[in-house]
Structure 1
Amino acid sequence: MRYRLLSILLLLPALPAAAHAVKSPSPAPDTEAADTVIVVDKVQVTAIKQGMVLRSQPVASSIIGSRAIGRDRVVALGDLSQNVPNLHIPDYGSRMTSSIYVRGLGARIDQPVVGLNIDNVPVMNKDNFDTELAEVERIEVLRGPQSTLYGRNTMGGVINIYTLSPLDWQGVRLTAEYGSGDSYRFRASLYEKLAPGLGTAVSGYYTRAGGFFENLATGRKCDWERFGGGRWRTQWRNGKGLRLDNSLSFSVLEQGGYPYAYAGEEIVRDGQTVIRPGEIRYNDPSGYRRTTLSDGLTLRYDAAAFSVSSITSYQYSDDAMTLDQDFLPLSYFTLRQARTEHALTEDLVFRSRDDRSYRWLFGVFGFYRHATMSAPVVFKQTGIEELILANANAHDGLYTYSWDDTELPLASRFRIPAAGGALYHESACTLGRWHLAAGLRLDVEHTRLRYDSRTVANYTATDRRTGVSTSLNKPIEVAGRLERTFAELLPRFCVLYAFDEVRNLYLTVSKGYKAGGFNTQMFSDVLQQEMTAAMGFGRTYDVDDVVTYEPEQSWNYELGGHFSCMEGAVRGDFALFWIDCRNQQLTVFPEGSTTGRLMTNAGRTRSFGAEAAVRFTPWRNLGIDTSYGYTDARFVRYDDGQEDFGGNRIPYAPQHTFSARAVWTLPTGVAWLGDLVLQAGVRGTGRIWWNEANSLSQPFYALLDASVRLEHARYSIGLWGRNLAGTSYDVFYFKSVGNEFVQCGRPRTLGITLNIHINN
């Protein structure tokens, strides 16, 4: 009884403070196991590193099981934002974007702040994060630095995705869906047990979207999509502790792009309006295509006192992004960035059994990545006149210039090999109700960049005094090699006090790390500056200075807990955190009419906040889930040489995230109909600041969702709607050639989904 009273007392201050979230379980006996606390044996089989039930661990985590995945239509990582507090995955641009923000940490380009693992295999390329989540059994979102166990680029957390096992379920699964924007989704899977301990699964999917946003320059939708792929998974158990799990997957994606609306003053040329505020109107082709192939092999042997696991993967990615980079119906410049990457990873994990008072884990990790990329920028007539000639004629008093060609191609080619390795260890012991753990990781990475950017400037210089003209042909080349080596020690300390199996308090101190690297998006500016300098004016960039960015480090201090009261009818989690971050990586816009994006390191930032989630089950057939996250993320020290942003909020990271959802299950009384499931919810995000000066922002907005489903053991059919109130909001803001653009969020969306499950 005193434990129940203590849990209630812990809950009362946690809710107003708005702290940590988990997809908390219902105690109802008919609740799906994957939506509740996963049994320890199942977690040990699939989750190699964290092992035990997450609610008994000193970590802020959210678990989304298969039933919730289906009811909430979690088909991509961006859909997790509606379930997890302080997690923001904006839906803009293309599937290449994959920007993730957690607790004020995040980045728009290059290195991610959150790691992604699918069936324990790490996804190395952030550009591949936004994929189809097909046949997923559960998703775990661990917030706060997970760098000790998972290494680089997990300072904001880790998302672990586990797919359905052919040893746990056999049969055929079919999905068909139609929704607004002329969108279709089809999926088919076959699960078979070929012999005792041997199972295989083959699945395929195809999605098609007509789009919501029209490019007024072409009269066609610009956000259309065609996406297809498949997966083949084989599992084997010999009954004596040896396990094998291999997954081979591929995907092919083609998208239009990009629904960026002009947000500046009306542009008028030659007495005619070129573009008005709020219009999507650009004249050159834009889009994104991607082909991926990956294979992950997990071997595990469980002995009497320990287990050893080997996780090996090969990952291939080939993609190309085409942009009308000025996003105007004017001929400024275009970009086509094509990248091919091969990656190999190996993770060897030794760990003791979890039922002992002292537990240990040792690991060795290594990877190799090799990418080749071409990124030609083509200046067109308007770009040549306004970005080059206007600048040249304004700064040179001796000559006037004219261009001999209608286009100016700036060619850039890159080779980016990288290799890294790590040694890590974690020890944990149980002393009565106290659980203590400490870990340390040594992470080393070496990366290189070979670059070759070149162009030929064909122009005519006319002497202002004599009128004599001279035609010039000047080849410009910027080539060289950069390399960096990064090494980090990543410790973690935590203590947990367990009141019982489901109620505890914990305190953790951990270090996070995001790797440094090279920003190739600045090379068009580098070459442009070299060309203007060759013409006799302007200045050149220091390539090392504008292209290289340093690693980002953080210390995370967290107090949290898990609680349960009222006979399990109320369950939840909370956390308070403080993050001290050094050299935070930011994407900024250089001054003037530039073509690139500059990745820089802010001197120091800090973020503090709170998270909470509560699941309330007043009756067996009614569940209410609420979650709230608050983050105050600011610059402590950041002076870009022109302005001091100290004290300002960090852009793109939302201040508040909120969700509330009720699910009511009503038995129909008709065996072949199953249950009627009514669901309604609201999710909100904001305020989001768009720039370092904090002069532009998106206020807090809320979206209303609802669905009606018939659920049977063999099928389900549901009508659903998102943003039912038709709320207007922006998900992205940026500048190009000094002009401002935004992308609006998706409008009201309706659809119908049919699932069929035929068990063997």
Structure 2
Amino acid sequence: MNLRTSAATIAISVALAAAATPATAQTQTPATPDTTSADAASAQLTQDGQGAPGGPTAAVQGEATTGEIIVTANKRAENIQQVPLAVAVVTPAQLASAGVRNFTDIGKIAPSLVVRPAEQPQNSNISLRGVGTFAFGIGVESSVAVLVDEVPLAFQARAFTDLPDVERIEVLRGPQSTLYGKSASAGLVNLITRSPTSTLRVRANGVATTDDEYGLNFSVSGPAGDDFGYVVSAAYNNWDGNVKNRFNGKTVNGRETLNLRGKVRWEPVDDASLTLSLNYVNGNTDVGRPFVRFGPNARLRGTAGLTPAVVLPGVSVEEYNDEISNNYNSRTKYEGGGGYLRGEVALGEMNLVSITSYDRFHLDDFLDQDDTSAAGAIGNNNQIGQFDSEQYTQEVRLQSPDDKSFRYTVGVYLASNAFERPFQRGPVFSLANWFATSKSRQIAGFAQVDWTLTPGLTLTGGGRVQNERVAYTYRDNLTNRFYSGDASDTAGTYRASVKYDLTRDINAFFTYATGYKGQTYDLTTGFNQNRAAAGPIRPERSRDKELGIRSQFFDRRLTANVTLFDTNYRNLQAQTIETLADGTSNYRLTNVGKLNTRGIEFEGSLRLSDDLNVNGAVTYLDATYKSFPVAQCYPLQTAAQGCTGTPASQNLNGERVAQAPEWKFNVSGDYSPSLTTGLRGVAQFNWQYQSSLYFAPRDPQLFQPAFHIVNVGLGVRDEERRWELVAFVNNVFDQQYYGALVNTAGNFGNNIATQAVLPRDFKRYAGLRLGLNF
């Protein structure tokens, strides 16, 4: 891979690297809290020792020492036990224990979150409580927003890199549109990065594994004079992959990423601060989707003689095949950067916050469309495309003091997004050659009030009004047709909750919230006059009810939290068959009907002693389509299997939603007994379970059975956490499962042809993690 330099190779080979576990080596030295809510919460986590291994994994992950977990779910720093929302917090130590070094794998330790990888990052999908966005067009928002330090990412593929310099990850479940806007109708993931510290701190962490993954990251933070603080970090990760290309002998399905990030904080006076944060990412992935099933009559494009044995020479197609034969280098190459300027100033008792951000991202994608090494043009059908995104945002909010019985936040938000997508595919089948642009502009005003009427009783109410304008252009270079259009919409969302403290450590809450995902255009292959005349896809809306209990017992050594939720979505945006005014039909992203998702989430932690912690989370999910009468049939679906009518379609009313396992849980533990003076042992385990699911409704070729994964680690650490060395084994029992499945029967004469996207831990592997902290 082209990022690897000799210097990086030498540094990594020295193995002063460990998995991305910065908090693994944290000391108990207090950090100086920043006046910003996000950075203050990061500093509080460092001060309280929550980053240490053994700290809880799930929401309200208990107290690993004597502190409390601080989150910014309501845009102000609060004890997570007092927030009337379903919030999960994940620390770097838990990421390491679960073998998570890439955004794709976060779902391993956040049970309500599922991340489905794809052949390329832009086609990957994030869903919370069974709800996500399954679409490939530019400008189509996700139902689950991804933010970094409260700044939203315009292009979700921007998130699918490794996780450098992360202080913690906050996962907010359920609609969050009132405070976070139109791309959070099902929830959000907020990555909080490290903040400047009041004393010089140097951290180095990394990993080396038996299957050729090498990673190194470090950060330096401290003061630069009386008024300045800084943090500079860099991370490099390289993994060759776990799929063998028999055509050229290369290993694929891997990744390589370089991340650079820096923050400078200026505090000219006690009640004002200015933080400038800059970031840069450069990386690439290579694609390998092994075939795991073929029908007996499968022939490439139905061509006689082009059997699997001919077009995939040397590949043994079987259930857990990890080999391909591609004569084209399927891959992505991406680069991007940006930053934000955050200012805070006290206005009497109130606090004024301003966040200005800019981000730009470019991705080139290349795919072997026929997925074979067949000779001739038919075996060289490829697709080539690009994504370009650019985003500006501005948020200004005014907040009252945290210690008053009546607290409020009011603000305005502005955003401008622009996307470009040139795309080509051919030269034999599925021909495409087009160029599309998508732009959006939004302005919003929001407010939220928390009022403690009496000791223990708090009411919360909030609302948001936003106006959005979207516009597009689309040029079909095959037909020399050009289309353009625009639309605008004004919408409101709101949230209300009541929380009552039953005791000092037990409270209950009820929350009602609405969500909104903006209108859009389906700018994909096949866009034509009919789609242009149909206008934009209407906004998707959600209504959520949550009942929760937050409790701690035995001097807060035991934390047990339960949330019941029931959410309805209407005007669901999904792929369907649409009959247009001229009587013709097409397949497109549009509004298909209704969906309901409900269930129960449990999260808890138990600190059995100062050196033994156990924590876990469980989600039960019932997610069904309530109205989806005209859905696309899956490949090879027959009338007896429900594919009927003209044009052929299936009725998914009452069907379970795709990518929504009924049960999902994880359990982790950390035992750190004293060995000698100044030295402690480390024993860690992580157990993940996921029940069966379909990657597309009803398709038997896209069924993933239930599976479980166990990870263990053994090592030693310094009493003061200045260093830690852990040997680990991930997927101890070598349980094979799929990250995603793809039905490509259409490429093989409408015979069974199923491909798999293999996850990072498809096979058992071992490695070493080392963390240094001074």
Q: TM-score range by the shorter chain?
A: 0.7 to 0.9
* Residue in 2 that maps onto 1:270: 305
* Residue in 1 that maps onto 2:505: 502
1:454-493 alignment runs, 5 A limit: 454-455=477-478, 476-493=479-496
Q: Is the 8 A contact 1:648 1:694 kept in 2?
A: no
Q: Is the 8 A contact 1:24 1:572 kept in 2?
A: no
* Residue in 1 that maps onto 2:618: 628
How many Å apart are 1:336 and its aligned residue? Answer: 1.1
1:553-632 alignment runs, 5 A limit: 553-587=541-575, 598-632=588-622
Query: TM-score, normalised on structure 1?
Result: 0.82
Q: Is the 8 A contact 1:186 1:206 kept in 2?
A: yes
Residue deviations 1:277-311 (CA, integer Å, cap 9, x gap) = 55633332211111011111100112332111000
Letter in 2 for 1:89: V
Q: Is the 8 A contact 2:74 2:179 kept in 1?
A: no
Q: Is the 8 A contact 2:161 2:257 kept in 1?
A: no
Letter in 1 for 2:362: D
Residue deviations 1:255-283 (CA, integer Å, cap 9, x gap) = 11133435331534427533545563333
* Residue in 2 that maps onto 1:537: none
* Residue in 2 that maps onto 1:535: none
- Structure 1 stretch displaced more, 259-268 or 239-248: 259-268
* Residue in 2 that maps onto 1:341: 389
* Residue in 2 that maps onto 1:549: 537
Equivalent residue in structure 2 for 1:448, among 471, 476, 479: 471
1:39-118 alignment runs, 5 A limit: 49-109=75-135, 110-118=140-148
Q: Is the 8 A contact 1:580 1:606 kept in 2?
A: yes
**Separation in 1 of the partners of 2:616 and 2:261?**
34
* Residue in 1 that maps onto 2:737: 729
Letter in 2 for 1:743: V
In structure 2, do the counterparts of structure 1 residues 721 and 601 end up closer, same or farther at CA, with 3 Å as the change threshold?
farther
**Separation in 1 of the partners of 2:98 and 2:269?**
37
**Separation in 1 of the partners of 2:771 and 2:148?**
23
* Residue in 2 that maps onto 1:660: 667
How many Å apart are 1:338 and its aligned residue? Answer: 0.7
**Separation in 2 of the partners of 1:90 and 1:271?**
31
Residue deviations 1:102-137 (CA, integer Å, cap 9, x gap) = 111112334222222222222222110123322222
Equivalent residue of 2:677, what SS? coil
* Residue in 1 that maps onto 2:681: 676
Equivalent residue of 2:336, what SS? strand
Query: TM-score, normalised on structure 2?
Result: 0.81
Q: Is the 8 A contact 2:97 2:685 kept in 1?
A: no
1:131 aligns with 2:184: no
Equivalent residue of 1:327, what SS? coil
Q: Alignment length, in residue pairs?
A: 661
Equivalent residue of 2:106, what SS? helix
Q: Is the 8 A contact 2:506 2:550 kept in 1?
A: yes
In structure 2, do the counterparts of structure 1 residues 203 and 338 end up closer, same or farther at CA, with 3 Å as the change threshold?
same
* Residue in 2 that maps onto 1:519: 522
Q: Is the 8 A contact 1:250 1:294 kept in 2?
A: yes
How many Å apart are 1:431 and its aligned residue? Answer: 1.5
**Separation in 1 of the partners of 2:93 and 2:238?**
24
- Pairwise CA RMSD of aligned residues? 2.5
Letter in 1 for 2:680: D
How many Å apart are 1:754 and its aligned residue? Answer: 1.5
Residue deviations 1:730-752 (CA, integer Å, cap 9, x gap) = 22123346254322332112211
How many Å apart are 1:225 and its aligned residue? Answer: 2.0
How many Å apart are 1:47 and its aligned residue? Answer: 7.2
* Residue in 2 that maps onto 1:308: 352
Of structures 1 and 2, the larger Rg is shown by 1
- Structure 1 stretch displaced more, 143-152 or 120-129: 120-129
Residue deviations 1:364-418 (CA, integer Å, cap 9, x gap) = 00111122221112223xx3xxx7xxxxxxxxxxxxxxxxxxxxx6421112121
* Residue in 2 that maps onto 1:360: 408
Q: Is the 8 A contact 1:48 1:120 kept in 2?
A: no
Letter in 1 for 2:725: I
How many Å apart are 1:71 and its aligned residue? Answer: 4.3
In structure 2, do the counterparts of structure 1 residues 574 and 711 end up closer, same or farther at CA, with 3 Å as the change threshold?
same
**Separation in 1 of the partners of 2:361 and 2:306?**
47
**Separation in 1 of the partners of 2:769 and 2:576?**
41
* Residue in 1 that maps onto 2:240: 210
Equivalent residue of 2:739, what SS? strand
Letter in 2 for 1:454: N
In structure 2, do the counterparts of structure 1 residues 615 and 163 end up closer, same or farther at CA, with 3 Å as the change threshold?
same
In structure 2, do the counterparts of structure 1 residues 328 and 265 end up closer, same or farther at CA, with 3 Å as the change threshold?
farther
In structure 2, do the counterparts of structure 1 residues 589 and 616 end up closer, same or farther at CA, with 3 Å as the change threshold?
farther
Q: Is the 8 A contact 1:584 1:601 kept in 2?
A: yes
1:229-244 alignment runs, 5 A limit: 229-244=259-274
- Structure 1 stretch displaced more, 63-72 or 290-299: 63-72
* Residue in 2 that maps onto 1:750: 766
Residue deviations 1:463-517 (CA, integer Å, cap 9, x gap) = xxxxxxxxxxxxx222110223233211101010112443210000101122232
Letter in 1 for 2:476: S
**Separation in 1 of the partners of 2:329 and 2:64?**
54
In structure 2, do the counterparts of structure 1 residues 186 and 21 end up closer, same or farther at CA, with 3 Å as the change threshold?
closer
- Structure 1 stretch displaced more, 636-645 or 70-79: 70-79
**Separation in 1 of the partners of 2:442 and 2:471?**
12
Equivalent residue of 1:80, what SS? helix
Q: What fraction of aligned residue pairs are identical, expressed as a percent?
A: 21
How many Å apart are 1:725 and its aligned residue? Answer: 0.8
Letter in 2 for 1:76: N
1:370 aligns with 2:407: no
Letter in 2 for 1:54: I
Structure 1: gaps spanning 5 or more residues: 1-19, 388-408, 456-475, 528-540
1:415 aligns with 2:431: no
Equivalent residue of 1:68, what SS? helix
Equivalent residue of 1:153, what SS? coil
Residue deviations 1:305-356 (CA, integer Å, cap 9, x gap) = 2111000001010111111123234426321111222210001111111211
How many Å apart are 1:604 and its aligned residue? Answer: 0.7
Letter in 2 for 1:623: N
* Residue in 1 that maps onto 2:707: 701
* Residue in 2 that maps onto 1:424: 446
Letter in 2 for 1:612: F
In structure 2, do the counterparts of structure 1 residues 590 and 173 end up closer, same or farther at CA, with 3 Å as the change threshold?
farther
**Separation in 1 of the partners of 2:489 and 2:557?**
49
**Separation in 2 of the partners of 1:339 and 1:376?**
13
In structure 2, do the counterparts of structure 1 residues 454 and 94 end up closer, same or farther at CA, with 3 Å as the change threshold?
closer
In structure 2, do the counterparts of structure 1 residues 342 and 564 end up closer, same or farther at CA, with 3 Å as the change threshold?
same
- Structure 1 stretch displaced more, 323-332 or 418-427: 323-332
Residue deviations 1:696-754 (CA, integer Å, cap 9, x gap) = 52122110111123222221111122211111112212334625432233211221111
How many Å apart are 1:219 and its aligned residue? Answer: 2.9
**Separation in 1 of the partners of 2:740 and 2:96?**
28
- Structure 1 stretch displaced more, 425-434 or 738-747: 738-747
Equivalent residue of 2:211, what SS? coil
How many Å apart are 1:597 and its aligned residue? Answer: 8.1
**Separation in 2 of the partners of 1:723 and 1:547?**
48
**Separation in 1 of the partners of 2:578 and 2:290?**
20
